[in-house]
Chain A
């Protein structure tokens, strides 16, 4: 509420300039500090709990950090430039490597996408995740070829996508109406030669983790020219001449991808999907893509953000948030407008709205891995694969939005199992069940402060209006309001069997949970 009040009186333009100016709240220092605790180790290995520290850091920053738009942008980027440290993945063993990657996205969220591509490519996290760590040039004697994994996914997922796009994100089609593919396998094998000769920052290419300076795990990768392909590298109508070294080759490759005409609309559409609406119209994509390509955007107060250089993230994010399609009543009241709030965002929203007491995720086991269907079915930096939890092109079969042809990525997570899972996950937090069933520090972790809501418990209509401001931002339907009010009216304020029972708390909890499970909350419009 304090945040809402702080915004009142200042213009939206001022707000976003302030957000852009806020210093970044990072993750690595927290994780390194946790890892240096004596109890973070069991023998030679890091404990299971210590391996979760990047997740703890994510929750703490998402809930408590002042640079909210930056954290939110970094989370959006983490769903495009995906790494995952879900248990079972190699990265689960390297929490500092994951935190270093988180910081690349947080630090550069309001920088330039070209820098993001550079830092991501040289990050140990991506090199481990997409297996170009210690990737070598071809060996004609054995027939060994460079690993193609990163070459393929940096094109398909991080920069240009599979089919040629118009500036507005619509596919370019050939004479027979077919989409034109942006690359074929020869482009992949050509580009794969570029990402050879990269290893951790130490003397040896084939380094043994046990004997390395731990700082190498969270430092920029080092190039080893003797393991880098000396062959010419041809991809996307670009040829890097034979004998070009690793750094120059990588620079040329990233420039080629960065300057490809697909990149602005490819990224613009996905960023709109992460913030505003699942199936943006092509004019909206076009305007955001233009802001990305020109690197500047004019705010409503006529000030300009962005440095005027292609890839500027401030111009891009401002264009996403300030577009008429994001703000006008006509646009937002359309039947095909809106997005399913991401489950991770819903939980963070709750924790922020009700000042959840001690933000100590280490003491709340259910926050360690929320990617299971009985939790949130989504966890920060814990996607099942590089394809994220849902695909930007997902059209949900058997639904009305699907019948209308709308892409609604987050519906990929919605089903009989996850609907109940989410409600039960939130029930634990909303009703402060930890206080009832846990002991010590676990009993005080994430306990909500309903001091603003409890006084409204005897006036269900007032309570519901208050929650409409806090959670649905005035979009709660009359049907949902009536449903909540009628239910609360059947909960007596005092329990005749138990004079100590506090049914005011029960009423507030019910109203919060009912709001957060209603379709008009689950869908952000």
Chain B
């Protein structure tokens, strides 16, 4: 079905030209404007999604004594559970790793720190290759606690719900959304001729990711271990092609698995046939490109995130054989929904993030593309400052990392709210009303990727509601 899809798109293009000639010069200019993304050189974005909602209060710590004491007091019983860790609590102020941002003056006497589980990212921050963007989350327009309480300003639908807020982070709409901003960014690049085919424009080691889906791109799944899956049975018949019958059987079987003669008017059957066709041909193309890959020397940790980022790094290493100049990647790990056992679970998860992200940055340096590949974190939401015994509940805004040599690092963008209750961005229980909308966070990434204002407006529908100056972290 992939070829049909292209034919369909080509047809749409032809009618668009017809419309331009009927509609006059204005329409033609608009259509030119829409295809103006800068696609020179190579650039890639990598989204690291932390499923379940990473606790922002347990990631970016207040470090000046009085702010730290406020947090430690509110979270006394959780901090006590950290004391049970082998080697003692990594939440003790003396063990936190202080951040020394170039824009420290913007925060007055307030200071910030990361836990030692994030020591690699702390190192990247200090050397200028990573930044923190504070209190990011879905918003329709700027919002204060009073406005939230009075319901006087529109807010995103289905707040605090996992699947809906994941979807909203990725696409500005709750579950059921069709296109993510990673996919929209890729659409724009593709329309400007970035890649020979749409097939390898958005890539994941997971599944059918909304973030990576655009009008013209759907995510391609790379295997964890390297090669894309091929059909065992076809490989078996490949060995029998010396006789005419053997060759004939092979070709018939291949055609069957590609559903190439299958016809139906049923939409779901047509979708399955399309998936069959796409699977075999794209997997074969990917493996052909992979055959020229030079193994990376950088070791990746043997974690779920490490394995995924290793597969992404390997894919970036064959970018020339895949004929792409713009790519968007998506990886994810779960376990962050720490309603319970937070002190046991979060340190290990943070180590997994840290090990994966730092290895990935080194691999990009090895490939000579560390300034062409920008990685960022994302999550369903942050969590409550209040604790429920041994965990925390669903929140809203959260702090995120941006990593790469293109990043204006060693800076904290946005403003981390205080670690107490009742402030202007407390939606209750220390759930943070975001100070930076996800779309404001996405804007500089899109601009760096090469998008025009018009293309950004398509990908980020609420961006025009925010008048604050654009963030400049990349």
Contacts and interface: CB of A to CB of B under 8 A. Distances in A.
B302 to A, nearest CB: 14
A519 B264 contact: yes
B109 interface: no
B387 interface: yes
A412 interface: yes
Interface in B183-215: 183, 207-208, 210, 213
A492 interface: yes
B77 A406 contact: no
Interface string A390-411: 0101111111111010101001
Interface of B is mostly: loop
A479 B257 CA distance: 13
Interface in B394-411: 394
A480 B272 CA distance: 14
A281 interface: no
A295 interface: no
B291 interface: no
Given A397-B210, A523-B269, A514 B275 contact: no
B467 interface: no
A414 B274 CA distance: 10
Contacts of B77: 142, 144
Interface in A411-463: 411-421, 423-424, 427, 431
Contacts of B105: none
A397 B160 CA distance: 24
Interface in B298-341: 334-335, 337, 339-340
B257 A490 contact: no
B470 to A, nearest CB: 28
Interface string A116-136: 000000000000001101111
Given A149-B339, A373-B221, A144 B271 contact: no
B352 to A, nearest CB: 12
Contacts of B343: none
A278 interface: yes
Contact of A148 (B223, B233, B253, B388): B388
A274 interface: no
A424 B283 CA distance: 14
B249 A519 contact: no
B95 interface: no
A278 B266 CA distance: 13
B268 A395 contact: no
A335 B221 contact: no
A90 to B, nearest CB: 8
A156 B159 CA distance: 12
Given A335-B265, A487-B252, A385 B162 contact: yes
B69 interface: no
A181 interface: yes
Contact of A339 (B157, B161, B268, B276): B268
Contacts of B245: 490-492
A504 B276 CA distance: 27
A240 to B, nearest CB: 20
Contacts of B265: 335
A397 B215 CA distance: 8
Nearest to B286: A416
B267 A484 contact: no
A268 interface: no
Given A373-B221, A416-B282, A487 B256 contact: yes
A510 B263 CA distance: 21
B12 interface: no
A277 B406 CA distance: 49
Interface stretch (B111-119, B127-135, B171-179): B171-179
Interface residues of B, number: 86
B273 A519 contact: yes
A339 to B, nearest CB: 7
B362 interface: no
A78 to B, nearest CB: 18
A420 B277 CA distance: 11
A408 B231 contact: no
B268 A412 contact: no
A338 B266 contact: yes
A483 B252 contact: yes
B275 A419 contact: yes
B252 A490 contact: yes
A252 interface: no
B269 A142 contact: no
B266 A144 contact: no
Interface in A457-510: 477, 479-480, 482-484, 486-487, 490-492, 510
B439 interface: no
Nearest to B212: A397
Given A398-B217, A399-B274, 11 more contacts: A143-B74, A144-B387, A335-B267, A338-B269, A373-B221, A385-B162, A415-B208, A420-B230, A483-B262, A519-B262, A520-B269
11 contacts: A335-B267, A339-B268, A373-B229, A387-B162, A394-B175, A398-B217, A400-B274, A408-B268, A418-B221, A427-B231, A517-B256
Interface of A: 88, 130-131, 133-136, 142-149, 152, 156, 162, 179, 181, 185, 188-189, 278, 335-340, 373-374, 377, 384-385, 387, 391, 393-402, 404, 406, 408, 411-421, 423-424, 427, 431, 477, 479-480, 482-484, 486-487, 490-492, 510, 513-514, 517-520, 522-523, 525
User: What are the 3 tightest A-B residue pairs by CB atom distance, in nearest-first order?
Assistant: A420-B229, A417-B221, A419-B279
